[in-house]
Amino acid sequence: MATTEVERRRGQLAALSIAAVVIIVGVPLWWRTTETYRAWLPVSQIKELAKLQLQLSADVEVVFARGTVTPEQQKKVPLTQTQEEEHAIDEDTALRYRYETRYRTATIMEEDALNQPTAAEADLSLHTLSESPCGSLVVYVIPVSSSLLPEDVNVYIGQRRTALLRIGPQMRVGKTLEQLLAHLEPRIKQVLQVMSFSHTDITAALSDRVRFSPDNKESIADSMRAFKSSPGYEITFSLLNPDPKSHQLHWDIEGAVETYIQPLLTKLSPVANFSIDSQTLYYAMLGVNPRFDASRSAYTLNADSLAHVINPVEARLGSNAASSNPVLNFLLYVPDAHHSPLYIQGRKKQEVPSNAFHSPRWGGIMVYNVNGFYGSKTDFPVDININMAKVMGVFLAQLRLLLGVQSSTPPPGFLVAPCGSTGLADWELDRLMWSRSVENIATATTTITSLAQLLDQIGNIVINDNIAQQVSSAVTSLQLAVAELEAGNLGFALQYSKEAILASEKAFFDPSLLHLLYFPDDQKFAIYIPLFLPMCVPILLSLLKIVSEARQRRRDRKAKND
């Protein structure tokens, strides 16, 4: 009897100890070994970034030339005013525009500069006087009677960051400074909309966060045409010669790129890196047959058939296999001798002086007619030197459009100076930098927040240390970029926003973040039950038996006591 008691006791002890080991040692061990490694992410900061509050600050200096302010008004100047405008785009995004306007009178040297005969010369001499920092503007207010601007023009926008504003006739006599400032304010705002940032541009740049539906078709076309912000672009110039038997074409592409295109790209280097290459393709035809127009005794391509020109050519263009940057293709097509001259017709059959067309987010094609260079009875092949200045003029205009530099048509009464030798005015660069910074910040915030959401939702993805580090650096750069935008330092804001976007894209597209471990619940049961059930059943049963015996004994003891 004693041995069975001892054996029973031993059995109970064994069952209890096994249960104890399973619960205390086994379950935590199983938990730790099936855990995925997830490095720490700054989740709270990411949640803060989800609500984007952007403030864009612009500094404007308004300089009154002689004849625009009366001596009493002059005493109150110089003064500084700050205006703020708030726009709420949606529940997560809000914009605030802050304009800090400084009013002052012109110095003697500036007065001399403004005494030049034409606006362009005045602009040039004003540049020599001072250099405005990136993102700021100087507006010179000139009297009504000034001969700098032609009759119907009220505002002249220069090549750097200056504008000449003609004061309205009603401000000539007997008004106070407040009235003068009130008169000037909407006009200066109009200038700012053109030269600095406008609400439509900034909301278009936020399209990654907010899928906006703009009112007019022009802004839809604008947003579709320009390439999205990318750290680098590839530009390829291709010469298409379908008829090498007749035309032996020479183009000095290296020199032309160095002289005409490179200055623009150097000026744009804070925005993106560019790599250029060129090629010549022989026997490359356009995919469309041009029609012969007897009235002009030339072949024509009308606008509807242009859409089908690009695809057959694109297959032969090739691209740089090593990089994933967007490619801009610029094609120069010299028609063959039998189809020369070839002109492009607009939608309403009108002539196109540039003889070129472009495709949004792809590039441009120009048709260059060479039949004028040789007579009818020459020996083929003819050596032809292509006039690169004319060609590059068209390509440069297309490049500006595709990069988003070109803005919409200015309001009436505005005269915009032609861009300088680099092909890009300083204020156009500022505009581009504003919209690129906002676009980068918007894209980086959506990337980071959606990455955080994804990692939160799917518990099985491993988060390595390098991903956590990239995310942290992206968050830091984003915070710095937003702060710099608030302070008005455009250059730094763009740089930080570029860093933020690089880090966030690297983290989001890291190859290790692939979720292939979709386990529906029934599959999880199917895996664990054969492993754990045979082990758990005897333990549970023996525990139940122990508990029921203990209860029985307690009842017996109570019965005995009574």
Partner 1 sequence: MKTHLLFNLFATFLLADGLNIEDSAGQFFSSGHTNNWAVLVCTSRFWFNYRHVANTLSVYRSVKRLGIPDSHIVLMLADDMACNHRNPKPATVFSHKNMELNVYGDDVEVDYRGYEVTVENFLRVLTGRLPPSTPRSKRLLSDDRSNILIYLTGHGGNGFLKFQDSEEISNVELADAFEQMWQKRRYNELLFIIDTCQGASMYERFYSPNLMALASSQVGEDSLSHQPDLAIGVHLMDRYTFYLLEFLEDIHPASKANMNDLFKVCPKSQCVSTPGHRTDLFLRDPGSVLITDFFGSVRKVEITTEAIDLTEPIKEVEERPANGDVHKEMHSYVDQLPVSEIIHQKPKQKDWHPPDGFILGLWTLILLVFFQTYGIKHLRHIF
* Closest CB to partner 1 among residues 168, 255: 255
> Does residue 394 interact with partner 1 by CB under 8 A?
yes
Near partner 1 in 326-355, by CB under 8 A: 326, 344, 346-347, 352-354
Q: How far apart are CA 114 and CA 40, in angstroms?
A: 61
CB of 440 to partner 1, least distance (A): 14
Supply 537's token pair.
């059943």
Q: How far apart are CA 22 and CA 34, in angstroms?
A: 16
Near partner 1 in 61-90, by CB under 8 A: none
Q: How far apart are CA 15 and CA 11, in angstroms?
A: 6
Extract the runs of DSSP E, i.e. beta strands, from 258-374.
273-282, 291-293, 298-301, 327-333, 342-344, 356-359, 363-367
Q: How far apart are CA 323 and CA 315, in angstroms?
A: 18
> Does residue 361 interact with partner 1 by CB under 8 A?
yes
Near partner 1 in 434-453, by CB under 8 A: 446-447, 450
Residues 45, 70, 298, 362: which binds partner 1 (CB under 8 A)? 362
Near partner 1 in 397-426, by CB under 8 A: 397-398, 400-401, 418-419, 421, 423
Site for partner 1 (CB under 8 A): how many residues?
76
Judged by CB under 8 A, the stretch of 4-12, 138-146, 166-174, 313-321 that binds partner 1 is: 313-321
Near partner 1 in 115-154, by CB under 8 A: none
Residues 2, 108, 173, 224: which binds partner 1 (CB under 8 A)? 224
CB of 516 to partner 1, least distance (A): 6
DSSP string for residues in 391-453: HHHHHHHHHHHHHT---PPPPTTEEEPPP-TTS--HHHHHHHHHHHHHHHHHHHHHHHHHHHH
Judged by CB under 8 A, the stretch of 162-170, 213-221, 408-416, 478-486 that binds partner 1 is: 213-221
Supply 482's token pair.
């937003």
Q: How far apart are CA 342 and CA 281, in angstroms?
A: 19
Near partner 1 in 250-289, by CB under 8 A: 252, 254-256, 258-260
User: Is residue 470 a contact partner of residue 451, using CB atoms and an 8 Å limit?
Assistant: no
* Closest CB to partner 1 among residues 447, 477: 447
| Torsion sign, CA atoms 326, 332, 338, 341 | positive
> Does residue 469 interact with partner 1 by CB under 8 A?
no
CB of 428 to partner 1, least distance (A): 12
* Closest CB to partner 1 among residues 135, 364: 364
User: What is the number of residues in the chain?
Assistant: 562
Residues 39, 94, 171, 303: which binds partner 1 (CB under 8 A)? 303
Judged by CB under 8 A, the stretch of 51-59, 218-226, 495-503, 552-560 that binds partner 1 is: 218-226
Query: What b-and-e string marks burial along 473-504, b requiring 16 or more CB atoms within 10 Å of the CB?
Result: bbbbbbebbbebbbebbbebbbbbbbbbbbbb
User: Is residue 376 a contact partner of residue 338, using CB atoms and an 8 Å limit?
Assistant: no
Near partner 1 in 497-516, by CB under 8 A: 508-511, 513-516
Supply 483's token pair.
């702060």
Supply 534's token pair.
């045979």
* Closest CB to partner 1 among residues 364, 488: 364
Residues 17, 273, 279, 324: which binds partner 1 (CB under 8 A)? 324
